[in-house]
Structure 1
Amino acid sequence: MSKPEKKVISLRPEAPRVEPDRPCWGVYEHWVTNEKGRGLRPGVYWHGFKRTSADDDEEDETARPITDEWIATPVTVAARTTNTDDGSEGRFLRLVTENGVKEWIIPMEVFGGSGEEARRALFGMGVIIALKKRSQFMEYLLEQRPAEVFATTCRPGWHESGAFVLPGRTIGSDKVRYQSSVKGQNLFSLRGDLDGWKTEVAAKCVGNPVLTLAIGCALAGPLLSLVGVLGGGVHLVGDSSSGKSLAQLIGSSVWGDPGIFAASWDMTKGGLEIEASSRNDTMLPLDEIKRADPKRVQEMAYSLANGQGKGTMTRDREARGKLSWRLLALSSGERSLSEHAAISGNAAHAGAELRMVDVNAGTRTHRAFDELHGLEGADFHRLLTVAVGSHHGHIGPVFVEQLIASNDTPGLLADFAGIRAQFIEDNAQAGRVADRFAVIALAGEMAIAYGLLPWAPGSALADCQLLYGEWLSRVGSGNAEDRQILAGIHDFIDKHGSSRFSDVNDQTPDTKVFNRAGYWESAGTNRLYLFNKSSLIEAAHGYGLARIIKALEGAKALTKFDADRARRTKNYRIPGGGQSRLYVIDPTTLDNEGAGA
């Protein structure tokens, strides 16, 4: 008796038949069968003919044996790319890996070498290339000429096409892609969902101006260029463990994983430029200003606000492109920017302080918080820390989607003007700070209107007005440079009034005074301080004499002049003989004018 015939059951569905126009390349994302019925697994193939004799060239190709060489897992060259940052070209690749479909842009410049770095990157993304076919794989990529053309950029944020570009996602266009210039972590990652973030994070921020400010600061990044507000930042000031870092984590969760998205002041100026550029049109969280170099921190604040890095050159003396960005920074520290800069002996620059404006995040009702929603401080902090780790990266992109969908620039400008009018200022410098709080408030109110924040309409504006008002009451009105100059002279008198000044009417030389700054004379119950030129410039370190005189005159602090008023000095006969022209200053006016500086 013959044995029953075995049935072979194939678990693979019937594969479609292909008849390649040999010799040629082929790419298949699923199993196929060739013209001879042979199954071909997914991948890149070279479809050719086998050589059978020395006279193959004369043989009829239709009669020659065929060959299908597997080169790699499926990699399709889907489009040509042109980088709008520098004009360089590349190829847009679609990769089918065991972990799903991925995209990658390969710069054309890699074909000028062995291509090893490119292949290494592809292996890292899950592509498998036959080891003996590596050069053939590069040849395959180079020979592809797709008709589709994409624009690329190495910088996230708004693109010249009007799209908003993020790593792995472009909002508002399917013809623009983000092209990573370096290998690194994806700052704009997603986890959880938007509803979870709204319930577990945003709802708990209600009643906490510092926390609502952090969210508004993160959402305001995409609005800056649209409403014409310059970059800069806010600096949360408070003691250690007051809740400042939590505010930064919450702000970071708007765009990505807080543990990855947040950065630190502990970096060089060049590093800061890279971090800022990689978060363009979003937000840069900077934790603990005490980690920054006190000698460079003010320069770094200027750089962040100005939005452009320092130009450099290659070894071949070719200029590298400058990094650029526009964003708001959310900084934190136990000291203000000026206090940290003073550690190195540098005078505080009013411009730097205005670009990184201080916000009280330490002496509120519960340190950085105003409302704990029925919880203890530690529990509130812990609850929100866990929540931002579970839900993040959603609201920022959705906010941009809504912004692009509305497509109403005139309406946006009108809304900003309406909110800006509610931030009162009496000089251009305070106006710049008011602009920043206004655009943060606008972002919050827009997100409320879009249904993305579970807050009452008007609450984001009210919180920003509160914090702006607190700042304004601390610094006082008037010009910031004037306040710094007057405060510097006032502090100089407090520090050196008894050691570097003596009575101008005591004709006995005071041998105890070294490194003399001037003299004093009585005016009723007060003293007037008579500064020589060098000590006045020393007291207002960082400012020229003409600027110092302007500030003193504005405060009516120069009280005596000779007939030649242009000098702003009075001629005195000084102890020990001789005469000297001195600047006569009433310190009580400095106390009033400089108290808020």
Structure 2
Amino acid sequence: MCELVEGILAITLLGLFLAAAFAGPLLDVLGESSGGLHLVGASRTGKSTAAVVAASVWGKPTADAQLHPWRGTANGLEGIAAETTDTLLILDEMGQADGREVGDVVYMLANEAGKQRASRNGAARPRQSWRALFLSTGEITLAQKMGEAGKRVMAGLEVRLVNLPADAGADMGVFQDLHGKPDPVSFADYLQAAARANHGIAARAFLGRLAQDRAANAAGLRTELEVLRDKFLAEHVQHGANRLWITLETGTSPRWKAAVDHAGNRHPLGPCPRPWCSSRGPPKGGEPSSISGYASRCELEP
């Protein structure tokens, strides 16, 4: 896993997706609601590689384990969401989803509960519930997918699922540096092979440190994180920023870095997701140039 993360250092969107993989457990710590990040771009821009890398934090990054297709039904996704509560839910290729119900699925995932159903005798069945930061990929946005079915996306949906264009600004999709590989395809193949060979280690180290900190002083941990969050939100655009802040916290704070390093992993740091910033409007006081810049503004050590 160490060699995998070394190749991700300084890669904008890939580093962000990897950091997001660790963010799910912090939703409970902070009492934040669920929501998602959607990496959108043309074919062969590295979206699937980003999903594989993120999935490897928790386990085997394959379709029969940590990666799930958007083409499943809403009922089926309820069960998957419940199984991944407080960890990570990844939905790959939104283009395969049903445009008539994809918006309802996003609302359902963000609202943290499935449909209320009745048993044969009319009594209410227990509803499935969850809490998760979910990641999504696709060649089209949620609005475009819903538009195929003649539906219009509401503003509330765009807050629940934030679009991240799969363009790091180097004409190589999500990549900014190929780290010695001859082309983006070779680098993507290298990252995917490394992720499939080394997976499920980093999450255990991260959870161990988080459990230790909560057991020692749960109230103090929450207060510390709330102070950092409030400073971030005071300076940045609000739409979806809570979710982005939790992701950046796991990607920059030395609190989590030490635990992951101990498990033999380098910590993901890289330039900030400027495409997200520009798509939602500039942060207050100007746009920092890197995740380390975000960290310094939040008084985090990179």
Q: Output the TM-score relative to the length of structure 2.
A: 0.84
Amino acid at match of 1:304: L
Q: Of 435, 441, 446, which aligns to 2:242?
A: 435
CA contact (8 A) 1:242 1:368 kept: yes
- Provide runs of 4+ in structure 1 moved above 6 Å: none
1:369 Cα deviation after fit: 0.9
The structure where helix makes up a greater share of residues is 2
Q: Which residue of 2 aligns with 1:273?
A: 78
Amino acid at match of 1:223: L
1:416 Cα deviation after fit: 4.4
Matched, 1:337 2:142: yes
Percentage of identical aligned residues? 31
In structure 2, the CA distance between the partners of 1:335 and 1:381, relative to structure 1 (3 Å rule), is same
In structure 2, the CA distance between the partners of 1:454 and 1:412, relative to structure 1 (3 Å rule), is farther
Q: Of 204, 213, 220, which aligns to 2:23?
A: 220
CA contact (8 A) 1:284 1:330 kept: yes
Q: Larger Rg: 1 or 2?
A: 1
Q: Which residue of 2 aligns with 1:450?
A: 259
Number of residue pairs aligned between Structure 1 and Structure 2: 271
- Map 1:60-71 onto structure 2 (within 5 A): none
Counterparts of 2:266 and 2:226 in 1: how far apart (Å)? 21
1:417 Cα deviation after fit: 2.4
CA contact (8 A) 1:425 1:434 kept: no
Counterparts of 2:121 and 2:235 in 1: how far apart (Å)? 50
CA contact (8 A) 2:107 2:160 kept: yes
Q: Which residue of 1 aligns with 2:200?
A: 393
- Map 1:371-382 onto structure 2 (within 5 A): 371-375=177-181, 376-382=183-189
Counterparts of 1:476 and 1:210 in 2: how far apart (Å)? 18
Matched, 1:264 2:69: yes
- Map 1:252-331 onto structure 2 (within 5 A): 252-259=55-62, 260-331=65-136
Counterparts of 1:335 and 1:415 in 2: how far apart (Å)? 34
Amino acid at match of 1:450: A
Q: Which residue of 1 aligns with 2:154?
A: 349
Counterparts of 1:347 and 1:281 in 2: how far apart (Å)? 30
- Map 1:121-160 onto structure 2 (within 5 A): none
Amino acid at match of 2:83: S
Amino acid at match of 1:415: L
- The DSSP-based 3-state class of the residue aligned with 1:421 is helix
Counterparts of 1:414 and 1:310 in 2: how far apart (Å)? 36
The CA deviation string for residues 156-198 of structure 1, in whole angstroms up to 9 with x for no partner, is xxxxxxxxxxxxxxxxxxxxxxxxxxxxxxxxxxxxxxxxx1x
Counterparts of 1:384 and 1:313 in 2: how far apart (Å)? 46
Counterparts of 1:288 and 1:422 in 2: how far apart (Å)? 31
Amino acid at match of 1:403: L
Counterparts of 1:223 and 1:337 in 2: how far apart (Å)? 26
Matched, 1:237 2:66: no
Counterparts of 1:215 and 1:353 in 2: how far apart (Å)? 22
- Map 1:428-577 onto structure 2 (within 5 A): 430-444=237-251, 445=253, 446-452=255-261, 453-455=265-267, 460=269, 463=271, 466-467=272-273, 469-476=274-281
1:263 Cα deviation after fit: 0.3
In structure 2, the CA distance between the partners of 1:416 and 1:438, relative to structure 1 (3 Å rule), is farther
CA contact (8 A) 1:224 1:326 kept: yes
Amino acid at match of 1:227: L
The CA deviation string for residues 544-564 of structure 1, in whole angstroms up to 9 with x for no partner, is xxxxxxxxxxxxxxxxxxxxx
Counterparts of 2:84 and 2:42 in 1: how far apart (Å)? 28
Q: Output the TM-score relative to the length of structure 1.
A: 0.43
1:228 Cα deviation after fit: 2.0
Q: Of 392, 397, 418, which aligns to 2:228?
A: 418
Counterparts of 1:238 and 1:364 in 2: how far apart (Å)? 13
- The DSSP-based 3-state class of the residue aligned with 2:134 is strand
Give unpaired runs (5+ residues) of structure 2: 284-302
1:382 Cα deviation after fit: 0.8
The CA deviation string for residues 190-212 of structure 1, in whole angstroms up to 9 with x for no partner, is xxxxxxx1x22111110112122
Amino acid at match of 2:225: D
- Map 1:108-127 onto structure 2 (within 5 A): none
Q: Which residue of 2 aligns with 1:49?
A: none
